[in-house]
Structure formats: C-alpha cells, structure tokens
Amino acid sequence: MPVKTQVGIIGAGPAGLMLSHLLYLQGIESVILESRSREEIEGTIRAGVLEQGTVDLLNEMGVGERMMREGHFHKGFEFRFNRQGHRIDVHELTGGKYITVYAQHEVIKDLVAARLQAGGTILFNVGDVSLHDVDTSTPKIRYRPDKDGELQEIVCDYIGGCDGFHGPSRPMIPQANRTEYQKVYPHGWLGILVKAPSSVSELVYANHERGFALLSTRSPEVQRFYLQVNPKDDIKEWSDDRIWSELHARLETRDGFQLLEGPIFQKSIVSMRSFVCDPMQYGRLFLAGDSAHIVPPTGAKGLNLAAADVKVLAEGLKSFYATGDSEMLNRYTEICLRRVWLAERFSYRMTNMLHRNPEHTPFEHQIQLAELDYITSSRAASMSIAENYVGLPMGFGS
C-alpha cells in the first residue's frame, strides 16, 4: 500500500530540512527522501555565511541555540586590493545587522536533530527516486528503500523538489515550459581546511594580480581558505607548499600582514556557475534551493536563497491548508525569482570584481580596482554592498 502524506520532500539538504520543519510547526505532515546517509549529509563540509534573515528564521524555528552559541558573529568584512585592507562596517551601515559564520553541515546537523526529535520522517539511503503525476492533484514519489528491494510509493498533495542541481525534480518541468539561464565562469576555487589559529577576525576578500583569495574561519582552531584557480586544474598539482606560497602572495599587505599556517587536512577544487530555472513550479511540484538556482560562492548566497525559498513555500502551504487559498502558491515563482535575480546580480558583481579573468585586458583590470576603490571610499556604495551582503528581507517582492 502506498504511503500518504501532505508534502513529499526530495532532498535532506538545508532546503528540504527547513521546509519540513517549518511545515511541522504549522501542523502539516511531510516525508523527506534522501539518497545519502545521515553521516554523509552531516559530514560534507561546506561554507556557511548566514544572512541576518536566515539566522532569524532558524531562531524562529527553534533550531538556532547551538548556532547562537558556536557561530561567529561579524560586524564587517574586508576588501583587500593594492596590498591594502579596506573594511566594510556592515553592522553600522545596515542599522545593526550581523554576518554569521556557521558552517552548512552544522546547520544540517541541527535541522536533522530537530526533525527526528519531533518524530519527523527522513528516509535515508533511498534509490531510484522518480516523480509522477506532478500536474495532478495526487502527485507521487517512487523510490527503493536502502537503494534495494521493491519500489515504494508516496502519494502527496504537493512535492518539494529540494534535491539540488542534479536531482530528478527539475526535469519534471517540461522543457517547453521552462527557461534555464546559465553562465559558467572561467575560474574555480581551490578550498582548503587548515588546523591553525585565525589570522583575521573577519572575512577577507582579496583582489590580486595573481588571482582572488578568501580568508574565512570555521572555529578558533580550524580555518577555511580559498584560492582562485583554473577549474580544470588537478588537485594533485597543488602541493601544500604551492598553496601556502600563493596565499602569502595574494594576501600580503603594505603593513606586513602575517598569515598563520598549519596542517592542511582537506583540499578540493570546485567550478563556478550562475544558474536560474524559470519557473520554479509546475503543477503540484515546487523547486527550492539548488534545484532551481545556483550562485557562485563569492556572494555567499546559496544556503540563504534556499532558506528564503522555503519560507515563501511554507507560508503558501500554510495558507492553502488553513483556508484553501492558493494565491501565494500560485505566486511562488514570481516572489522567489525577484529575490533570486537580485542575489544573482550581487554574486555576479562580486565575482567579476574580485577575480582575475584571463580574457580581460589591462584596462579591465584597472576598472576592477576602480570599482573597489569607489565601493570602499563612498558611503553610499558601501551601504549598497552591505545591504546586499547581509541579505534582502525574506519574502522580498511578495
């Protein structure tokens, strides 16, 4: 016999877990299906710069206690160029808002614990997930438990496609009904985790003639650093000595900044792209997070956009189940995409301003520096950057 639930959710990343818990708080049932194990999703280390709205939402959901205890709350960040640092005072420029550094896998741990403590259903290690009848009033999800055995079926009222860029949800929107926008960047990020004390108290974004670099932190003992590289590079070509040499060169300052070294215990190279799917819904299927849009990590918007999506979706489902009103669900794409495109714009701007593009002329390199000079010397320009960095209000455009 098929299982019945109100909302079937594919994917136990931040989007799927947040959606499920928001629905639970409104008395709406859901089931989450995840192809990986709990250990895998909680152990995949990814960046975590949280907007003020995301922090507020997690606290409103009752899952922010550990974040507030262990997260790093920054009042600003630094643009570094021409071997000199220029601080953007986000706290002052935005009327008291913060940037919170709290890794994505820690957010996932908190959400998984909350869902299981509340008796929520998360089916890990499932395989062969497929969606059916999404344009009817009874959409279905089929899967194999533990990636083995006979196919099982869940009958839903709605489906939340929170399964990332490569998941099965987005292809269910017919190609004739969707437009996909994409830009692939000519550079990637080499990210490392280092056992070392922090060299800085806030994030540093560096523009250097050798390429971009970023300093971030994970804990008082673990730091996260990034280097702009060719996305086709083999990680084996990047020895620890080569990485440190590049970091020192790209982060040096006229006043003798000292980068503290330590053992590198993780390193990888990721490519960078911008992507948007329009619409984000079809029938009873709603996309959220990376299944609908991707941003380059320079703007730190990925997890935050997922949170904004599911807040809108949860509000729409709440309204539907309480009153039968589907107006907000019908406007889901319209509401979400306005904020998505503004975040895409900001991430695109940050990426182009900070990275060295091999196709650019010396003239364009000087324009980059002039842009950074203007942003860090004009209060109006600094306010614009700060407002976008801490995040536009959730539900912006509704």
22 CB-near residues (< 8 Å, 6+ apart): 61, 310, 311, 314
297: annotated active-site residue = yes
Angle between the N-to-C axes of helices 379-390 and 332-354, in degrees from 0 to 180, rounded to the nearest 10: 130
Q: Are strands 30-33 and 121-123 parallel, antiparallel or unpaired?
A: parallel
236: annotated active-site residue = no
Q: Which of 14, 139, 296, 297 is catalytic?
A: 297
389: annotated active-site residue = yes
74: annotated active-site residue = yes
- Helix extents (H) in the chain: 14-25, 38-43, 52-60, 65-70, 90-93, 104-117, 240-251, 302-323, 327-330, 332-354, 362-377, 379-390
102: annotated active-site residue = no
CA 249 to chain centre: 29
DSSP 324: -
Q: Please list the helix, strand and coil fractions of the chain in percent, rounded to the nearest 5, in that order.
A: 40, 25, 35
DSSP 352: H
Residue 84's closest CA among 219, 200, 268, 207?
207
CA-to-CA distance for 242 and 25, rounded, in angstroms? Answer: 50
Q: Which of 98, 158, 226, 389 is catalytic?
A: 389
Helix or strand (DSSP H, E) at 227: strand 222-229
Q: 317-322: long-range contacts at Cβ-Cβ below 8 A with a sequence spacing of 24 or more?
A: 317/6, 317/7, 317/23, 317/26, 317/28, 317/158, 318/23, 318/26, 318/28, 321/6, 321/26, 321/28
CA-to-CA distance for 395 and 260, rounded, in angstroms? Answer: 41
Q: Which of 301, 321, 332, 355 is catalytic?
A: 301
Q: Which of 185, 205, 226, 282 is catalytic?
A: 205
CA-to-CA distance for 220 and 72, rounded, in angstroms? Answer: 10
Phi, psi (deg, nearest 5) at residue 113: -60, -40
Q: Which of 4, 74, 105, 360 is catalytic?
A: 74
The catalytic residues are: 74, 205, 297, 301, 389
